[in-house]
Structure 1
Amino acid sequence: MTDTTTIADTTQEVTEATQQAVKQVNQITQYLQDSIPGLITFGLEVLAALVAFFIGRLVIKWIRKIVRRSFERSEADKGVEQFVDSLLKYGLYGILIFCLISSLGFDTTSVAALLASSGVAIGLALQGSLSNFAGGVLILLLKPFVVGDYIIEDTNGKEGTVKEIQIFYTKLSTIDNKTIVIPNGMLTNNSITNATAKDERQLDLRVGISYNADIKKAKSVIEKLLSEDASILKEEQMNVFVNDLADSAVVLGIRAWVKNEEYWATRWRLLEEIKVELDENGIEIPYPQVTVHMKEDK
């Protein structure tokens, strides 16, 4: 009797477990049947949003291309063109993403409120970036430099040719073809030397000669080199003078004017030619030295 009761109880438990499993399967099946149309609809909306995003990217590129061509035809400043292009890029992408979020069924009012509150929080966290943006606007309005100028950021000594002025950063290209990225806020808050603001630039060299050398002869050799160099502007003043009486040398100063684009080539060429000519004329260019006099004991 006990065995029969146990078998009956086991059979009942199995039956109940089976019924419960079937019930759960039916619930899952019913849930999927109810949810599949919504999932399909949402998937189609996401797919449509992705298609719209890629189409929007093409439209944004087309708009930016038209704007750039308009700037080129109007011969506007290159820095203004780059700044507006960068601003247009971020602005249009922001509008595109907002429209896509709206198309997915999100409440635009809630999204706008969220973006506004997030904008305040992000603005407080990214005060430096906002400062850089304001700096970019000031650079375009005040024009302390433009694309193509050679500038020196005096505080940190960074220097190079301005290649791009973007909404947050300005890119410089150095003589050895390195790229320096400087925040616009730093450029507007610190002093800047614009070496190419004018068409002409002064060449300022220093050459040391021995105290035993003939100063007049050395000056004559250098003056001749200046007068024969094709890059030196002859209508501008040229000076060769004693700049300093240093510990180991008489330092001659050399000043002349050249075109901005010929500055470095002329500087390097003249320094080499001065060394060669001084050697050929027996004029010593000394290195730092110390003369020691020994006193003999009697």
Structure 2
Amino acid sequence: MNLHMDLSWTVIVNFVTLYGVKVLASLLIFFVGKKIASIITAIVVKGMRTSKIDETITSFFSNVIYFGLLVVIILAAISNLGINTTSFLAVLGTAGLAIGLALQGTLSNVGAGILLVFFRPFKIGHSVQVAGENGIVEELNLFSVILKTGDNKQIIIPNSAVIGKNIINFSAKPTSRVDLIFNIGYEDDLLLAKNTLQEIVNSEAKVLNDPAPFVAVSELAQTSVKLMVRFWVKNEDSATASFSITEKVKLAFDEKRISIPHPPVSVTTEI
């Protein structure tokens, strides 16, 4: 009985010693390999940035390189356990169709990400509208585009949703046109209002001289005359110029007694 117990204990000890060491070695391979993959990815990214390669391409391929190295590390750790990786890959290949169907959405995001990098409709830092969302492009990875909104929120949009919708790139050109509409009353002096608006837009430092800004009557509405102020600015000056001109118009109209009609209010009286 004692001999049987001794043999059993010896088998257990040998098993734990053999496979315990292998498990620990595999874990070491994984964690050290993961750290090395991060270092290699960082070196590649630094080299691409030094070579002035577009940040969008750099961001995308850093993800590709890291996940590619991670797959190699996982296979090495599995192989160290004594599992035949060839058979393991064959099993994965056999299950590939089922996995592909299950991950159809994820794989479509990867494919869409490759198309976005290849055709480059926008770059990191561009102001865009994608999938109905507006923001600054912060990152393009294998699965999604990450935007930062004007109020500092983060929006994560799957690549497939981006590639399947209209993409508006507000930063593709260095300048943009701004149209501002101002209402005056029918009883007000039209020429005075136009000249006032023209003087304001001409004096705004951030407004470009070419194309020249102009003021025109855009509509004779039911309760007001609509005047459009059209001008061009550098993209980064669009909001600043618009805010400045709008404030100056209000102050000038008040000074010159040019009215800004209120929209009509409908009042319903119940009997």
Band the TM-score falls in, shorter-chain normalisation = over 0.9
* 1:288 corresponds to 2:243: no
Between the aligned partners of 1:245 and 1:29, the Cα distance in structure 2 is 103
Q: 1:77 Cα shift?
A: 0.7
Q: Which residue of 208, 215, 218 maps to 2:193?
A: 218
Residue 174 of structure 2 contacts residue 234 of structure 2 at CA under 8 Å; is this kept in 1?
yes
SS for the counterpart of 1:224 is: helix
1:137 and 1:212 mapped to 2: Cα distance?
60
User: Looking at CA atoms only, which structure, 1 or 2, has the larger radius of gyration?
Assistant: 1
Which amino acid in structure 2 is aligned with residue 92 of structure 1? Answer: L
Q: Is 1:136 aligned to residue 113 of structure 2? A: yes
3-state DSSP of counterpart to 1:257 = strand
Q: Secondary structure at the match of 1:201?
A: strand
- Name the structure 2 match of 1:231: 206
User: What is the identity, as a one-letter code, of the residue corresponding to 2:53?
Assistant: A
TM-score (norm 2): 0.92
CA deviation vs aligned residue, 1:240-289 (integer Å, no higher than 9, x gap): 11112223222211110000111122222222222222122211111112
- What is the match of residue 124 of structure 2? 147
Match of 1:255 in 2: 230
Aligned counterpart in structure 2 of residue 94 of structure 1, from 71, 74, 91: 71
Q: In the alignment, what sits opposite 1:16?
A: none
Residue in structure 2 matching 1:69, options 35, 40, 46: 46
How far apart, in 1, do the equivalents of 2:266 and 2:5 lie? 100
Residue of structure 1 equivalent to 2:158? 183
List alignment gaps of at least 5 residues for structure 1. Answer: 1-22, 293-298
1:148-167 superposed matches below 5 A: 148-153=125-130, 156-167=131-142
Which sections of structure 2, spanning at least 5 residues, go unmatched?
none
What SS does the aligned partner of 2:163 have? helix
Does 1:267 pair with 2:256?
no
Q: Indicate the residue corresponding to 2:80 in structure 1.
A: 103
Q: Taking structure 1 as reference, are residues 212 and 41 closer, same or farther at Cα in structure 2, changes over 3 Å only?
A: same
Q: Report the aligned-residue RMSD.
A: 1.9
Query: 1:202: Cα distance to partner?
Result: 0.6
Q: Tell me the secondary structure at the aligned position of residue 213 of structure 1.
A: coil
CA distance in 2, matches of 1:208, 1:246: 9
Aligned to 2:25: 48
Q: How many residues align?
A: 267
> Deviations along 1:17-39, whole A, 9 cap, x unmatched?
xxxxxx5x875553222121111
Q: Residue by residue, what CA displacement relative to the aligned partner does 1:36-59 show, whole Å, maximum 9, x if unpaired?
A: 111111111111122222221221
The residue type paired with residue 246 of structure 2 is L
Structure 1 ranges of 4+ moved more than 3 A: 25-30
Is the 2:29–2:76 Cα contact (8 Å) retained in structure 1?
no
| Aligned-residue offset at 1:118 | 3.6
Deviation at 1:127, TM superposition (A): 1.6
- 2:96 maps to 119
* Alpha-carbon distance in 2 for matches of 1:256, 1:149: 22
Q: 1:217 to 1:110 in 2, by over 3 A?
A: same
Query: Residues 25 and 80 of structure 2 are in contact (CA less than 8 Å); yes or no, is this contact kept in structure 1?
Result: no
CA distance in 1, matches of 2:254, 2:24: 78
